[in-house]
Amino acid sequence: MSEAGCTGGVRGVRFGVGAGALLLVVAAALGWGRRGGVLEARQAYWEETEARWGQEVRLLMELPRRIRESSGVLASSVNPGVFWTHNDSGGEPVLYGVRPEDGSIVELRLSGAPARDWEDLDDGPCPHAPLEPCLFVGDIGDNLSRRESVTVVVVAEPRLPDVLPPQLSGEWWAGSLKYPSGPRDAEALVVSEDGVVRIVTKGREGEHGVYRAPTDFLQGEGDEPVDLLPDGRLPLVPVLWLGRVVTAGADWAGGIAVRTYTEVYLFREGPGGWEATGLPCVVAPLGPAGEGLDIGPDGAVYLSREATRVAPAALEAVDCDFSGGP
């Protein structure tokens, strides 16, 4: 990641030269490669930039081994109390509906669906039936930036009974997409209430680009990928030692929400492009494997994390105060 990413304008997001340069020096002085030194540098950085810390963290559910690489999370609007999640690269084409209240889980199996590297999911109106809700899964991961195209898989969200069945099957659609300037690694898929599908890149190219899928991308002929449309970039510069690369996205009432390994941000579209809304919410203490994000209609922030050697995968909720700032 580019160290030059610490220059810019929006306080708390794209930090001024003074704060960025100062904390880069502090990080090096404390020991760039030492875990303790990096944590201290991060703490100093967030204090300097007035970021808000997440409060009232709640463990909703520890996930079983079959969902140990939970890479996306969605609080269902169709089935209250149910969260959808899925595994990362190498997993089967399966969505898991989990109900923390009683620990029950249903598998929604999408037999034959592309599942090279599922990274995120969101919900939105079904492309072929706009009044019905669908789940959108982003098969968009590309760590080495070599994929000629990526895929979005869509399935109608089932209405679940009170007692979750062990397994369901779903009829799915898929659309193939390609970036206009070559492959990009991405882990964030965002679907707006009116069905606009966006992908936010992880930041390996030194920026978090936003790309929009054409409205008819699921109706392409044959297997030919459809070109993604450039839709600006977030005013958020990747900084590796801060864990600031985008690992998930979500729709929220005002625009786009994204999480990094350590923070949650809100952005809205302004006259000149994407603008930060409020201050970031720091979620670094929740662990290093944070991969999922959703924002509930009441503003609740839901997160998922993958399993590590010392902790299982989990769903969590945190209170974030985004007020202040720009």
- Look at residues 131, 57, 111 and name the one whose alpha carbon lies nearest to residue 318: 57
Residue 147 near residue 225, CB atoms below 8 Å: no
- Look at residues 203, 194, 186 and name the one whose alpha carbon lies nearest to residue 147: 186
In a domain, 1, yes or no: yes
Whether 35 and 69 map to the same domain: the answer is: no
Classify residue 213 by its DSSP letter.
-
Angstrom distance (rounded) from CA 178 to CA 123 = 21
CATH of residue 119's domain is: 2.120.10
In a domain, 324, yes or no: no
In a domain, 325, yes or no: no
Whether 143 and 41 map to the same domain: the answer is: no
Whether 65 and 20 map to the same domain: the answer is: no
What's at 2, amino acid-wise?
A: S
Whether 45 and 75 map to the same domain: the answer is: no
- Look at residues 125, 230, 113 and name the one whose alpha carbon lies nearest to residue 178: 230
Whether 45 and 100 map to the same domain: the answer is: no
Angstrom distance (rounded) from CA 106 to CA 242 = 36
Whether 2 and 129 map to the same domain: the answer is: no
Q: What is the three-class DSSP state of 76?
A: coil
Cβ burial of 48 (10 Å; 0-12, 13-18, 19+) is: middle
Angstrom distance (rounded) from CA 73 to CA 59 = 14
Predicted local confidence at residue 218, as pLDDT? 84
Output the six-digit token pair for 112. Answer: 């034959």
Predicted local confidence at residue 220, as pLDDT? 55
Predicted local confidence at residue 254, as pLDDT? 78
Count: domains in the chain: 2
Residue 84 near residue 153, CB atoms below 8 Å: no
In a domain, 17, yes or no: yes
Residue 284 near residue 262, CB atoms below 8 Å: yes
- Look at residues 194, 121, 129 and name the one whose alpha carbon lies nearest to residue 156: 129
In a domain, 62, yes or no: yes
User: What is the full DSSP assignment across 23-91?
Assistant: HHHHHHHHHTTSHHHHHHHHHHHHHHTTPEEPEEEEEEEEPPGGGTTEEEEEE-SSSTT-EEEEE-TT-
Range of 188's domain?
55-319
Whether 83 and 229 map to the same domain: the answer is: yes
Q: The tokens 């997160």 sit on which residue?
A: 303
Whether 158 and 221 map to the same domain: the answer is: yes
Whether 7 and 66 map to the same domain: the answer is: no
Residue 229 near residue 213, CB atoms below 8 Å: yes
Q: The tokens 């969605």 sit on which residue?
A: 74
CA distances from 241 to 18, 51, 101, 262 (A): 17, 16, 37, 10
Query: Pseudo-torsion of CA 234, 266, 261, 66, nearest 10°?
Result: -110
Output the six-digit token pair for 68. Answer: 């140990």
Output the six-digit token pair for 319. Answer: 């209170």
Q: What is the three-class DSSP state of 226?
A: strand
Cβ burial of 86 (10 Å; 0-12, 13-18, 19+) is: buried
In a domain, 194, yes or no: yes
Predicted local confidence at residue 82, as pLDDT? 98
In a domain, 138, yes or no: yes
Whether 148 and 216 map to the same domain: the answer is: yes
Cβ burial of 148 (10 Å; 0-12, 13-18, 19+) is: exposed
In a domain, 26, yes or no: yes
Whether 24 and 156 map to the same domain: the answer is: no
Whether 125 and 185 map to the same domain: the answer is: yes
Tens place of pLDDT per residue across the chain (326 aa): 322 333 222 333 333 333 333 334 434 443 434 456 888 999 999 999 889 999 999 999 999 999 999 999 999 999 999 999 999 988 899 999 999 999 999 999 999 999 999 999 999 999 989 999 999 999 999 999 999 999 999 999 999 999 999 999 999 999 999 999 999 999 999 999 999 999 999 999 999 999 999 988 886 555 689 999 999 999 999 999 999 999 999 999 879 999 999 999 999 999 999 999 999 999 998 878 899 999 998 889 999 999 999 999 999 999 999 987 66
Predicted local confidence at residue 3, as pLDDT? 29
